[in-house]
Amino acid sequence: TMPSIFSYLSAEVDWCEGNFERSPIIAEYYNTVNGTTLFSLLLLAPLNFLVWEGAGVGNTLPLFPAGIFSVYFHMTLSYVGQLLDELSILWTLAAAYSFWYPRVYFPRFIKSRKQFFWLSGVTTVICTLMSFIKPAFNAYMLNCIAFHLLYLMWRELKKCNDKRVHRMAAVMVVWWVLAISSWIGDRWLCWLWQAINFPYFHSFWHVLIAMSLLYFCPLVIYFDVTYEMPSFKPKLSYWPSDSWPVVVPYIALEEPHKQC
C-alpha cells in the first residue's frame, strides 16, 4: 500500500546524513538543526524589505516559510515536508521575480508589471503541478534558476561603477559557490562522506545559502532603486559597523543622486 504522505521517510529524497542516529523523533539531526540556523539567518535577510515597506516603497520578501518547512522536512523526511520545502522556495522566487525583475528585461510581449505578474503566476502554478509528478527534480530545477539570477546580476554589475556593490556581489557569489558545492557534494559523493564518517555537507548548505541570501537581498534592492527611484542614491552599508567581523548588509538612501 502507498505510505501516508505525512509519514516519516515517505519523501523521494533522502540526504547523506544517517536517519534517527541521534534522536528517535528527528530523522536528520544536523540537517534539522542547521535548518533552524537557516531560519534564524533568514529572519535577518528581509530586514531591508521590511524597512522598504515602512518607507512606502517595495514589498517584503516571504523568506520565512522556506526556513520553517526546511526544518519540518529534515525532521520527518515526509513527502509533504519535501513538497512544502521545495514549493516554498519556488513561490518565494516567483514573488521575487514578480516584484523586482527589472522592466528592461521583460519579454517583448509583456507591456506592464501587471502582465508580468500574470506570467510569473501562471508559470509558477504549472511548475507547482509538475512538482507533484516528480518532486525529486524540483531541487535541481530550483538550483538552475540561481544561474539565471547570477546572469542578471552580472549584467547589472557591468552598468555599475560602485566598488562596494562589486565587492558585495563577489562575497555573495563566494557564499553561493560554497553552498552549491556542498549541495552537489552531498548528492553525488555521499559514498565518500559516509566512508570517512562525515555525511554533513547538506547541513552546511543551509548555513551557506542563507549567508548568500543576506548579501543577495540588499543587492536586489540596490538595483531596484536605480530603476524605480532614479532620483535617489542607494548606498550599501553594514550593521552594526563596517569594521565588525560579522555584519548584516543593508541599503540606505542618501541625497538625490543617481549612482549607477
**Quick check: is 82 in a domain?**
yes
Number of domains composing the chain: 1
Is residue 185 a part of any domain in this protein?
Answer: yes
Q: Tell me if 74 is assigned to a ligand binding site.
A: yes
In a domain, 20, yes or no: no
15: annotated binding-site residue? yes
Q: How far apart are CA 199 and CA 183, in angstroms?
A: 11
168 found inside a domain? yes
Domain presence at residue 19? no
pTM (predicted TM-score): 0.85
Does 242 carry a binding-site annotation?
A: no
Q: Tens digit of pLDDT for each residue in 35-50? A: 776 666 555 555 554 4
> 17: annotated binding-site residue?
yes
Distance (Å, rounded) from C-alpha 120 to C-alpha 92? 11
pLDDT tens digit sequence for 220-243? 888 988 888 888 788 888 877 888
- Tell me if 156 is assigned to a ligand binding site: no
Does the annotation list 161 as a binding residue? Answer: no
Give residue 141's domain range: 29-254
b/e code 202-240 from CB counts within 10 Å (16+ = b)? bbbbbbbbbbbbbbbbbbbbbbbbbeeeeebbbbbbbee
Say what the pLDDT of residue 80 is: 92
Residue 3 lies in a domain: no
52 is in an annotated binding site: no
Residue range 186-203: average pLDDT?
95
pLDDT of residue 38: 63
pLDDT at 74: 94
Q: Is residue 65 part of a domain?
A: yes
C-alpha cell at 224: 531596484
Say if residue 28 carries a ligand binding annotation. yes
Q: What is the pLDDT of residue 188?
A: 94
Answer whether residue 24 is part of any domain: no
